Amino acid sequence: MHYLSLIRIFAGMKRIFVYFAILLAAFITASCHHNSDEPDNKKKDTVERTVIVYMAAENTLSKICRYDSLEMVQGIGHVTKNHNLILYKDDDKLPVIYQMSQKDGVQIWRSYTKEQTSTDSIVMLNTLKDIINEFPARHYGLVLWSHASGWVSDPEGSNTLAQESESKGRRRSFGVDNNKNSGSTNTGSRMEISALRWTLEQLPHLDYILFDACFMQSIEVAYELRKVADYLIGSVAEIPIHGAPYAHIMESMVKGDAIGIAEQYYQYYLPPNSGIALSVIDCLELEALTRKTAACLPAIYQNGNYVDLTGIHNYGPFTGDYKWRPRAYDMKGFMHKYLDEDMYEDWLQVLNRAVPFQKATSYWDSIFPGTHNKLSESEDYSGISLFVPEKIYERLTYNWNLYFKNTSWYRAAGWNQVY
């Protein structure tokens, strides 16, 4: 999430500093109790929906998370007595959990007295369980807020989930926790997608997961998480430094309206703002998309060789300093290039059911200048990416082709039959 330099962002923010100060004062005033690791024993009434925002911001986003927190304060008018909005924030200070509502404003529900690694699967599980037990609801929404990079990322870091060993391949993707209470570094613990899946499987089923994090709308991530939520909301590429505009999307968040969240998020970043590419994935349709893709792959890989990927939109160019991340190609563009017209149209109908919302502005800020120009004019924009094996990966220390074989998607989609 938010890869761009903070300098460009702060340059135009003089007009909001006064408002920021007012909100901050209100935030501090309202946050006045429960200064311990232990929550109250008194149970809250079951409401319609509890929305949890999980901020793993002990990294270079530690300052940005405060702006997003204040946007949530702006939006709490939509958090009625039938909703809970709970913010877990771990930045360059000790973690804190806030309860926000129209009636009571902002209150600290828990202040931690010692550090914890928010990208550790057990830590995340215990934290989310505590929140759900204290703020029960008939429905739940979850925002995962941090740096991220799809199904595979920088091989540094660690995770305590015993089921995933180093020998099975590095798939660390969501979050960074540097364990230094510092906003100066992104070196630290990351969470693997399989560990995230395991964590969320222990919790009540989610209406949606909003990834306020970069590169998370890949088919590899979506297939891994298909059973833990109804909808996945996020971007195939980078998102702007400030991420989701919470004051604008809060009403849809508490209503559980995934399409509404994505539409309002998209509208906020229309020009002259910095732009965005967003999509919504319907998890119930992923099995059908997987079966259809498996049926089509043999037509693409008839000779079992690597294919030419020229001309297919790539959301993460594999160049320069970014060799730790493989390319993420547009799924629709890949299939369109190689399938005949009838097979492609048949496949496309299934894709459109699986991705009911996909919009992109004509341009958005990127660490790869110029790569996303005029994307919204392309018929091959789908809002979901996929990994395609390439020969170049075999020459690297981290052979992404090999690690790809350990994903759930690899075998389910029939890649093992063609590669």
pLDDT tens profile 367-379: 776 667 666 667 7
How far is it, in rounded angstroms, from Cα 144 to Cα 208?
Answer: 11
**Residue partners of 395: CB distance under 8 A and separation at least 6:** none
If asked whether residues 276 and 339 sit together in one domain, one would say no
Per-residue confidence (pLDDT) for residue 373, from 0 to 100: 65
Q: Is there a single domain that holds both residue 135 and residue 255?
A: yes
Does 258 share its domain with 312? no
Distances in whole angstroms, Cα of residue 110 to Cα of each of 37, 157, 175, 216, 307: 6, 27, 22, 29, 53
Domain-embedded: residue 191: yes
Question: 202-217 as b/e, with b when 16 or more CB fall inside 10 Å?
Answer: ebbebbbbbbbbbbbb
Query: Is 149 strand, coil or helix?
Result: coil
Peptide bond before 272: cis, by omega within 30 degrees of 0? Answer: yes
Q: Which among 285, 307, 338 is the end of a domain?
A: 285
pLDDT score of 195 more than 80: yes
- pTM for this model (two decimals): 0.87
pLDDT, mean over the chain: 83
d(CA 19, CA 11): 16
Share of the chain above pLDDT 90, in %: 55
Are residue 335 and residue 257 in the same domain, yes or no? no
Last residue of a domain, one of 285, 315, 333: 285
Q: Which residue has the higher pLDDT, 73 or 14?
A: 73
What DSSP character marks residue 218? B
Structural domain contains residue 52: yes
What pLDDT sits at residue 323?
Answer: 64
Instruction: Return d(Cα 309, Cα 316) in angstroms, integer.
Output: 14
Same domain, 337 and 236: no
Quick one: average pLDDT of 138-166?
66
From 249, 269, 285, the end of a domain falls on: 285
Residue 141's contacts (CB-CB under 8 Å, 6 or more residues apart) are 49, 50, 51, 52, 206, 207, 208, 209, 210, 253, 254, 256
Residue pair 145/57 in contact by the 8 Å Cβ criterion = yes
Q: Considering the domain boundaries, does residue 309 fall inside one?
A: yes
367, part of any domain: no
**Backbone angles phi and psi of 141, in degrees to 5:** -125, 150
> Containing domain of residue 82, as a range?
6-285
pLDDT in tens, 75-125: 999 999 999 999 999 888 999 999 999 988 999 999 999 999 888 999 999
Whether residues 81 and 216 share a domain: the answer is: yes
In this predicted structure, the answer to whether residue 164 has a pLDDT above a threshold of 80 is no
Count of C-beta atoms within a 10 Å radius of residue 156: 14
How high is the pLDDT of residue 369? 67
Instruction: Specify whether 271 is located in the same domain as 293.
Output: no
Q: Residue 37 is part of a domain; what is its CATH number? A: 3.40.50.11970
CA-based nearest residue to 177, from 238, 116, 234, 241:
116
- 262 with 181, same domain: the answer is yes
| Window from 9-13, 49-53, 237-241, 268-272 with minimum mean pLDDT | 9-13
The per-residue pLDDT for 5 is 36
**What number is the average pLDDT over the span 218-229?**
97
Among residues of the chain, what percentage have pLDDT more than 70?
Answer: 80
> Is the per-residue pLDDT at 25 higher than 60?
no
Assess whether 178 and 311 both reside in one domain: no
Mean pLDDT of all residues in 238-247: 91
Quick check: 210 pLDDT over 60? yes
Residues 232, 340 within the same domain: no
* Lowest-pLDDT choice from 45-54, 108-117, 197-206, 301-310: 301-310
Q: How many other β-carbons are positioned within 10 Å of the β-carbon of residue 16?
A: 12
The conformation of residue 407, written as its DSSP 8-state character, comes to S
Same domain for 205 and 233, yes or no, is yes
Q: If 0-12 CB within 10 Å is exposed, 13-18 middle and 19+ buried, where does residue 93 land?
A: middle
Task: Tell me whether residue 365 is in a domain.
Answer: no
The total number of structural domains that make up the chain: 2
The verdict on 159 and 269 lying in the same domain is yes
Q: Which residue has the higher pLDDT, 126 or 173?
A: 126
- In the beta sheet, which residues pair with residue 105? 101
Task: Compute the half-sphere exposure of residue 161: CA atoms within 13 Å on the CB side of its CA.
Answer: 26
- Assess if residue 137 is contained within a domain: yes
Q: Report CA torsion sign: 149, 150, 155, 157.
A: positive
Residue predicted with more confidence, 373 or 159: 373
What's the pLDDT score for residue 305? Answer: 82
In a domain, 167, yes or no: yes
- So what's the pLDDT on residue 149? 81
- Tell which residue, 326, 308, 306, has the closest CA to residue 316: 326
**How confident is the model at residue 265, as a pLDDT?**
97
